[in-house]
A and B are shown apart, each in its own frame.
Chain A
Amino acid sequence: MRFYEYEAKALFARHGAPLLRGRLAHTAAEAKTIAAEIGGAVVLKSQVLTGGRMKAGGVKFADTPEQAETAATAILELEINGQKPRGVLVEQRAGVAQEYFAAVTWDGRRKLPVLVFSDMGGIDIEEVAETHPEHVAQVHLSTLVPFSPFKAKEAVAAVGVTGDDLTRLTPIVASLVEVFLRYDLTLAEINPLGKTTDGRFLVLDGHVDLEAEARDKHAKLLTELGIGKEETRQARPPTRFEIRGAEVDASDHRGVAGNVVEFDGDLGLVIGAGGGSLTLFDAIRKHGGRPANYCEIGGNPSVKKACELTKLILSKPGVKKIAVMMNVVSNTRVDIVARGVIKGCVESGRDPADTIAIFRIPGAWEDDGFKILGKYRVEYCDRTVSMFEAARRAVAKMQAA
């Protein structure tokens, strides 16, 4: 779960990282006031959760409060990669002599956090690592032995920084590590970490990603930073359909009928589970089908939950049929899902035989499931029919309809 720049900076500042004077503005008038408070040159930055902000025109400079107001107006209206800005961050402008890079993230191979430091900040770090490996230091951290600041010192010194710069950078980098470890982050990054012409170090831009699993654990921090419970912070904001999908999933604790993602096609999908859904979604697209949604059912959901999910999908405009498919199941029951989807069709005023393009869930309780499907004349297949073939049949029916 990504933080906006202003939230990331607020978090860093709580742990002692030095920031430029500045604040978030929601309107151009507010931006003007903040610029006047700061006095002198300011930089205005669009607050979006996507890269490419500079290129898109989301960062502007201003010398007077009036200029700041004009710049803020333009930034607040500018969508970047389909995202409307949350606001505009107005900050004092500093003369920067050099830019550094500091980040902590997970090394999935070593299964340890890794601190990355470079004296070539401001540019793509992966590129620097390839072209100038001697300018990038990597220090792995233990998750059992308590963190100690010498690790930060080692990383900074490894790229050749010494003297006052070393002693000034070390505590800033150390505090970044502490923030990372303390809040279950998956990324804590200061880039650039600027050295001003008068020798001070400042956080110029920051990125923070909090692990979704740790949201509840850090609810207090999120509230203090003004991050709402309803904010999913996915790559795009949830649609109404997706919010209703989450409500269906939360309606009772039995099983999962969730992770509903909206697409613009005409074939509704009731699919599962985690890996099965990915496989089936690929298969539908491979055959030229146009999914109306992605979803994951699993963990043996109640009949009601499967029914409500079916009704939700059928309520989406343009959805003609649904395909009900999973990998061979052992925990989720075939008969329970069959009951749920048939009931969902009937309660939506549709004929299950006509609405369910294909039912391919083999496994636990399949004998009862197949009896139910037979009674309602729904086309079903057992484990001898592959997921790919079932997807093909569903798409063929859509094309014939």
Chain B
Amino acid sequence: MSILIHRDATFIVQGITGREAVNLTRECLDYGSKIVGGVTPGRAGRDVYGVPVHDCVRDITAKTHVDGSVVTVPPRFTRDAVFEAIEAGVKLLVIVTERIPRGEVAQMVELARLRGARIIGPNCLGILSPEEAKMGGLGGPAVNVRRAFRKGPIGVMSRSGGMTTEICNTLSAAGLGQSTAVSIGGDAIIGSSYAELMPLFEADPETKAIVIYSEPGGRMEAELADWVRENRSRLPIVAFMAGRFMDEMPGMRFGHAGTIVEGKADTTADKIERMKAAGISVAERIEDIPALVKERL
């Protein structure tokens, strides 16, 4: 099995006629994903690689069952697009768009909570379950995906889209396939943190271990450490921490929007300490991850 998506999951693409969205649509279709429609207001009647374009999300949900939506519209239209999908009953939103003010992200998260929907992102590349489906640009064209991703027992969560592929590639080369890889997003506030996705992996019998990629900034690693301790997770976790040099450079912003050291809790040193205390293995180098995983499988 996998989490969040599977081979029969249906989804739509909001903003489907945009340049990046067109690419992403083709990549997902090539990988076998079921895209049942696209939305770009005013462009109803067109199609993108055979996927019909509609004006409203409800035009699609009225006729077809829709499990999720990939939202890739400009930042100032994103909140509206996400609200539209949630109010039309869509339960899984992958928000690709970056540079959305966090106040608006919080509004989307709050509405999703009220309606029982889940948000992945923003500022993410989406979800990929090898040999099942791909929802978003993660891994790129289908040929590249097949090179880097393999089916297997590892759940992967990463604050960096590019590093999701790098890590999965390293795991695959070492014979460790993935159940599902989630690019969770690089912003300060995101729809689903590591700890919030853990119960899904926990419930997935195929998943046997977790690998995460983390960075300075935010409390997400501390939250994961708390979750692991409180829930006595069956899943061993291996973490890789990038941006250690930033500990010496408070107030400077590098990498993603969520990556900044403002207080002690934002430093990699503090996060590593907390994770280790909770029994999470922390890898010094990406290539050390497979051995650390195998040790604990």
**A342-401 at interface with B (beta carbon < 8 Å):** 363-364, 383-384, 386-389
Q: Which of A23-31, A157-165, A278-286 contacts B (4 or more CB under 8 A)?
A: A278-286
- Asked if residues B256 and A275 are in contact (CB atoms below 8 Å), the reply is yes
Q: Give the chain A neighbours of B23 by CB distance below 8 A.
A: 331
Q: Give the chain B neighbours of A144 by CB distance below 8 A.
A: 107, 110-111, 114
Q: Give the chain B neighbours of A389 by CB distance below 8 A.
A: 287
- Asked if residues B165 and A275 are in contact (CB atoms below 8 Å), the reply is no
Residues of B at under 8 Å CB distance from A?
23, 75, 99-103, 105-107, 109-111, 114, 137-141, 144-145, 147-148, 158-163, 165-166, 169-170, 173, 186, 188-189, 193, 213, 215, 218-220, 223, 240, 242-246, 249-257, 259, 263, 285-287
Instruction: Bits for A226-260, please: 1 = Cβ < 8 Å to B, else 0.
Output: 00000000111000000000000000000000010
Q: Give the chain B neighbours of A111 by CB distance below 8 A.
A: 105-106, 109-110, 189
Q: Which of A52-60, A94-102, A208-216, A305-313 contacts B (4 or more CB under 8 A)?
A: A208-216
A186 to B106, CA, bound (A): 12
Q: Give the chain B neighbours of A61 by CB distance below 8 A.
A: none
Q: What's the minimum C-beta distance from A324 to chain B, rounded to whole angstroms?
A: 15
Query: Could you tell me the dominant secondary structure of chain A's interface residues?
Result: mixed
**A94-134 at interface with B (beta carbon < 8 Å):** 106, 108-109, 111-113, 126
Given contacts A235-B250, A296-B255, A298-B162, A278 and B101 within 8 Å (CB-CB): no
- Asked if residues A143 and B243 are in contact (CB atoms below 8 Å), the reply is no
- Asked if residues B287 and A386 are in contact (CB atoms below 8 Å), the reply is yes
A326 to B139, CA, bound (A): 14
- Asked if residues A277 and B251 are in contact (CB atoms below 8 Å), the reply is no
A277 to B138, CA, bound (A): 18
Residues of A at under 8 Å CB distance from B?
106, 108-109, 111-113, 126, 142-144, 181, 184, 186, 211-214, 217, 234-236, 259, 261, 272-279, 281-283, 285, 294, 296, 298, 326-331, 363-364, 383-384, 386-389
16 further interface pairs, Cβ-Cβ under 8 Å (given A235-B250, A274-B256, A389-B287)? A109-B219, A109-B223, A112-B106, A234-B253, A236-B252, A259-B254, A273-B162, A274-B255, A275-B186, A275-B215, A282-B245, A296-B255, A327-B163, A328-B166, A330-B139, A386-B285
**Which residue, of A126, A259, A386, has the highest number of chain B Cβ atoms within 10 A?**
A386
Q: Report the nearest A residue to B119, measured CB to CB.
A: A111
- Asked if residues B257 and A212 are in contact (CB atoms below 8 Å), the reply is yes
